[in-house]
Amino acid sequence: MKTRVAVLHGGRSGEHEVSIRSGSAVMAALDPARFEVVPILIHKDGRWDPRPIVPQPGANPGIDVVFPVLHGTFGEDGTVQGLLEMAALPYVGAGVFASAASMDKQQFKRLCTALDLPVVEWITLRHGDGALEAVARFGFPLFVKPANLGSSVGISKAHDEAELASALSEAALYDSKIIVERAIMGHEIECAVLGNDLPIAATPCEILPSREFYDYEDKYLLDAARVELPARLAPELIAEIRRLAVECFRAVDCSGMARVDFLVESATGRVYINELNTIPGFTSISMYPKMWDYEGLAFPRLLERLIDLALERHAARQALRYER
């Protein structure tokens, strides 16, 4: 019998359109000989089409596994993962804690710092308070980011106080908690990770933006950024990035998949972990599937592996006791 895969896509976040593109790519690539696709679109207003998953064990007998392709808030932050846990449904990707911890840039940086994993220096602001401290500590330029969002939505690079004020206003549209970071000049690197208890990292790629940094327009609208796969780095740096990607994956107790993004500072050669994406893009330009394709794991086989990992993780969790 075919495995029935419910593909959740859309969502309530600012990355709704990107999620639809990712979900469409996943549904098109799932092998029809093995899988039956159940598309579930979540509209921007929160409506589920055709119907919601009922958060009660045994209430979804027609679904074998859920593939959430929901980027950003209410999809990648642990909320939908909690719903699926309540419904006792297997699902692809990270669990509740890993999702929430990776989505919140402040908490993610704190976890990495506690485990001596290198992250860029930062300050957390609420409602813009403390911006002058960031300028005093780091100088310009600075990156300003909403603490909980992805796909570079709401992110700006500020070169002076006027741009900083504008950047803070833009970020505040998406979150009351704002991250201000020292700007790193150098290489933008992405590394794909796959697995549960024994994760492995693919050969990383390098993003060559057409703009000053790899922003939303460059990622999804302009089609002008270039990618080098493998990244144009020395072999020892490639090996270090792959090692750090796996260590970062483990640090947040991730499972299934993740794309870990790095910055390599040109002046010092230092490697910094930028962020971990628990639901990376699956669009035609997304690098997570391309990195695994480079390793010989084609897109349809990658999706099969992710579903197998979801079922494996679910079976292990079901073997645990939740009462005396």
Q: In which element (H, E) is residue 227 found?
A: strand 226-228
**Is 261 a catalytic site residue?**
yes
Q: Which of 76, 190, 275, 304 is catalytic?
A: 275
Q: Which residue has the tokens 């999702």?
A: 99
Q: Which of 11, 78, 95, 281 is catalytic?
A: 281
Cβ-Cβ contacts under 8 Å for 241 (sequence gap 6 or more): 189, 191, 201, 204, 231, 233, 262, 264, 271
Q: Which of 277, 288, 304, 313 is catalytic?
A: 277
**Is 275 a catalytic site residue?**
yes
Q: Which of 182, 242, 259, 313 is catalytic?
A: 259
List the structure tokens of 8: 């959740």
Q: Which of 104, 215, 261, 304 is catalytic?
A: 261
Q: Which residue has the tokens 């992405």?
A: 190
Long-range interactions of 152-157: CB distance < 8 A, separation 24+? 152/213, 152/214, 152/215, 152/216, 152/219, 153/14, 153/15, 153/72, 153/216, 154/14, 155/213, 155/215, 155/216, 157/183, 157/212, 157/213
Contact (Cβ atoms closer than 8 angstroms) between residue 79 and residue 54? no
Q: Which of 91, 220, 272, 288 is catalytic?
A: 220
**Is 15 a catalytic site residue?**
yes
Q: Which of 151, 156, 255, 274 is catalytic?
A: 151
Residue 238: count other Cβ atoms within 10 Å of its Cβ. 18
**Is 130 a catalytic site residue?**
no
Query: Catalytic site residues?
Result: 15, 151, 220, 259, 261, 275, 277, 281
